Amino acid sequence: MENSITQANTVVGTPYYLSPEACENQPYSSKSDIWALGCVLYEFCTLKHAFDASNLLSLVYKIVKGQSEPIPDIYSKDMHNLVK
């Protein structure tokens, strides 16, 4: 019997934090990490994903479009700017 190793072809992480560059299959840099951090900060403020959809294609479209609901007004102008 011959041993074989199958490699997995998967993506690590959640698609909710993908940057627009990653969604468009373009080269990306550490700016994508800052994008993901902004998505996490948005979640801390709203308890919702910055971009949410019922399927991956719709999610990618929303990320590339780059528009999400603003965080609540209880947060400072500085926090609003940081999340943007």
Write out pLDDT tens, residues 6-47: 543 445 678 999 999 989 888 888 888 899 999 999 999 999
pLDDT of residue 61: 96
Q: Is residue 11 part of a domain?
A: no
Domain count, the chain: 1
How far apart are alpha carbons 53 and 47 in whole angstroms?
A: 15
Domain membership of residue 47 (yes or no) is yes
* CATH code of 73's domain: 1.10.510.10
Are 46 and 71 contacting, i.e. CB atoms less than 8 angstroms apart?
yes
Contacts for 21 with CB less than 8 Å, ≥ 6 apart: 27, 28, 31, 32
So what's the pLDDT on residue 11?
54
For range 50-72, the mean pLDDT = 94
Is 52 a residue whose pLDDT tops 60?
Answer: yes
Side-chain-facing half-sphere of 61: CA atoms under 13 Å: 6
Owning domain of residue 69:
17-83
pTM: 0.78
Q: How far apart are alpha carbons 32 and 17 in whole angstroms?
A: 9
